[in-house]
Structure 1
Amino acid sequence: MEQPSSAASATPTPSETVLTPQEMGYLKALGNKPDVSGMITFNPGDIEEGHAICGQSSESDDEDGWSEGAFSGPPTVDAIIENEWDGADYQAAVEHLCPKYLSVLRKAKGGFTDGTYEVGKDIKAGTYRTTPGRITDCYWERSTAGGATIANDFVKNAPGGVTVTLMRRGEGFTSEGCGNWMRG
């Protein structure tokens, strides 16, 4: 009498993983190309990272620490700016896996956080405003290439945020305690 074989349950390999059309689009946007049979070889962590970017991670904490704050929820303007997620991988995740956040990604593009910048090199000229929320104890300064102050302000309390226009290439901009800035 023949005994039934007991096949061990194994973790699916990337070639056995069933992907949604959105996940396929995401992987292709990351540069993964299908082979002649139409199969895409990929790192399963790429899919998890893409979902984590969109706040869809099923893991509470993974080896890379994605859930430790960086990807702890849906994309926000502040999270994108603070983590400089304007790269192709972040764009691909939002476009393919959570397109409802495209407007958030657009708002964050070109934004920056507190620091010292050169207009035309680090940031573009234009009008910037702090991301939504009350601003307290914020100092900003526009300066010439030689370091002379063009304009500055210490904002004690701005419930509606702060707006600054950066006009010239080579102009300096410094921000301390203001948080994140987005175009607009």
Structure 2
Amino acid sequence: MPSYTPSPSRSPLTWRNCDPAKSGVLDYAREGCETSFAVDACQASKASGDALLDMLIENKGTVEEADLQDCPQFLPTWRRAQAGFTDGAHLVPEDVKPGTYETTGGVSDCYWERNRGGKILANNLITGARSARVTVQQGDETLVTRGCGNWVRT
């Protein structure tokens, strides 16, 4: 990922930052560090498509659609990230809507399971693949994923 520097020429977003030498501005938001600096949305979006998608999924709610008003080319990726999610236990349909999802990158030892009423309806362990896929059904109560990374609706 590229390094980012503040740009006063546009409306800035504020990101929390531990070390300006690090790359991946959106990663700073979840580190909970003390200092902050401004980075404009277009500059933060210079990451490649998949890296940007991952950053937006992992930091959902930190970048709003209005933040990208000067960068309309990134709106489709932002919109796609809104239905994405990371590893963890997710309530259906509150956190994850029924539909088919795929990981944003290669996986190794990726496990997912769909649950209802405390029982596993379906599960899979993918030991190595270019991606993993799961279809969340109407009536599922939870989806649990571990070691899979980020998921996006297909």
State the TM-score, normalized to the length of structure 2. Answer: 0.69
In the alignment, which residue of structure 1 is the partner of 2:129? Answer: 158
Alignment of 1:4-83 (within 5 A): 47-49=11-13, 63-64=35-36, 74=46, 76-83=52-59
CA RMSD of aligned residues (A): 2.8
Counterpart-to-counterpart distance in 2, 1:74 and 1:147:
43
8 A contact 2:114–2:140 mirrored in 1 = no
State the AA in 1 paired with 2:153: R
TM-superposition CA deviations, 1:5-32 (whole Å, max 9, x none): xxxxxxxxxxxxxx98xx6xxxxxxxxx
- CA shift for structure 1 position 72: 5.6
SS at the partner of 2:60? coil
| Structure 2 residues not aligned, in runs of 5+ | 1-7, 22-33
**TM-score, normalisation: structure 1:** 0.59
Amino acid at match of 2:126: V
Contact 2:87 2:147 in 1 (8 A): yes
Q: Secondary structure at the match of 2:150?
A: strand
Structure showing greater Rg: 1
CA distance in 2, matches of 1:110, 1:168: 16
For 1:120 and 1:73, the matched residues in 2 are separated by 29
Equivalent pair of 1:121/1:170 in contact (CA under 8 Å): no
**Residue 65 of structure 1, CA deviation:** 5.4
Which protein is richer in strand relative to its size?
A: 2
Partner of 1:138: 110
What's the counterpart of residue 111 of structure 1? 84
Is this contact kept in 1: 2:115–2:140, CA < 8 A? Answer: no
Q: Which structure shows the bigger proportion of residues in helix conformation?
A: 1
- Asked whether 1:174 is paired with 2:144, we answer yes
Work out whether 1:90 is the aligned partner of 2:64. yes
Instruction: Quote the residue 1:40 is aligned against.
Output: none
CA deviation after TM superposition for structure 1 residue 73, in Å: 5.2
Extract unaligned runs of 5+ from structure 1. 1-18, 24-46, 53-59
What SS does structure 2 have at the residue aligned with 1:182? Answer: strand
* CA distance in 2: counterparts of 1:77 and 1:137, whole angstroms: 22
Separation in structure 2 between the aligned mates of residue 180 and residue 134 of structure 1, nearest angstrom:
10
4+ runs deviating over 3 angstroms: 60-63
Which position in structure 2 is the counterpart of 1:122?
95
The alpha carbon displacement at 1:108 in A equals: 1.0
Would the alpha carbon gap of residues 66 and 152 (structure 1) be closer, same or farther in structure 2, given more than 3 Å must change? farther
Instruction: After superposition, give the CA deviation of every residue in 1:37-60 in whole Å (9 maximum; x if it has no partner).
Output: xxxxxxxxxx2217x8xxxxxxx5
Amino acid at match of 2:102: R
